[in-house]
Structure 1
């Protein structure tokens, strides 16, 4: 199968999985490369660091690693776009500031 056809087949299967679970894909318009810019670091670590080119043999083995990654990403990892705060800290700061200075 040509590369383009294989890619299209994977995309179609992925869309069916999303539909089956009631999810809607986030797709930007052509030329808008910023659609997934904030999700990429979140998704790339499990692929590159945890899996190291492999996969988890069973879902039970993946869950603790994924849970740890989500905790780290939200509570510890400092984001340059958030003033080098972790996501949870930024959100708390934003909510506190919003309560002090309502619109």
Structure 2
């Protein structure tokens, strides 16, 4: 399994729209991508403009397929001007799945 984490900070005036866009992308990923096994959208309770994504894919190819979808492209374009910070990390799941 291939794990991707993403940390975002949105412009404070766009946190509601940012959260909506994140949720829509997560829902579409889980519904239409057979290689996407998990897509959690998390938000810092002390800083509403700080978000964390935890995504699990079958493999790196499934993640690349995710990035090629139309919903991901729409999401990326939509949040571009709202994003103040973005950090992506990739891991291999070495323990038993939950």
TM-score (norm 2): 0.32
Q: Which has the higher strand share?
A: 2
Highest RCO, 1 vs 2 (Cα 8 Å, sep ≥ 6): 2
Q: Which has the higher helix share?
A: 1
TM-score (norm 1): 0.31
Structure with max Cα Rg = 1
